[in-house]
Amino acid sequence: MFIRFITTGGTIDKIYFDDLSQFEVGESQVQHILAEGLVDFDFEVVPLMHKDSLEVTDDDRRKLCEFIEQDDARRYVITHGTDTMPETAEALRGLSDRTIVLTGALTPARFRTTDAIFNVGMAVAVAQVAEPGVYIAMSGQVFEAGKVRKNRAENRFEKIV
């Protein structure tokens, strides 16, 4: 079993710079999370972007699509900022024969209390178990691309009904 992880930035990878008193996207936390999960399968992590979700452009989404199209893996976990995660999921729907799961975090992985570890755990399971397709794993749930939105007021992901 092989999973390709693609990191694009977002809250999950945020770090804090004391001298600036602000947060910026730092190096990917996925490896640390997988090590903590004591995972025992083959994987590679490709850091494709370091962007806040709101900065991700349609051009970025095209590049992500092309990267996966030309790649030979069957299972993908993509870490992504939460605000435009549903849009990026939609943009990947054309890709066939692959199980692609987007996830991220509402609180940075470097925090003592964070949803990052739980979410990556979910994504890794979905990448193994689900039918080919594009999914989002957030808020303890697995959503299909195109049927999910972020409810910013409530700070959670929910099904579009």
- Residues of this chain that bind its own copies (CB under 8 A): 1, 11, 14, 16, 18-19, 21-23, 33-34, 36-41, 52, 54, 82, 106-108, 110-115, 117-126, 128-130, 137, 139-142, 152, 155-158
Phi, psi of 42 (to 5 degrees): -80, 140
Least distance CB 151 / its own copies (angstroms): 9
Q: Which is nearer to its own copies, 65 or 128 (CB)?
A: 128
Q: Which is nearer to its own copies, 16 or 62 (CB)?
A: 16
Residues 149 and 160: beta-carbon distance below 8 Å: yes
35: tokens are 């090590």
Least distance CB 70 / its own copies (angstroms): 26
Phi, psi of 14 (to 5 degrees): -70, 140
Q: Is 11 a catalytic residue?
A: yes
Q: Which is nearer to its own copies, 65 or 106 (CB)?
A: 106
Cα–Cα distance for residue pair 94/151, rounded to 1 Å? 25
Least distance CB 160 / its own copies (angstroms): 14
**Residue type, position 4, single letter:** R
Residues 19 and 60: beta-carbon distance below 8 Å: no
3-class DSSP state for residue 131?
coil
Q: Which is nearer to its own copies, 65 or 117 (CB)?
A: 117
Least distance CB 68 / its own copies (angstroms): 21
Cα–Cα distance for residue pair 117/12, rounded to 1 Å? 9
Q: Which residues are catalytic?
A: 11
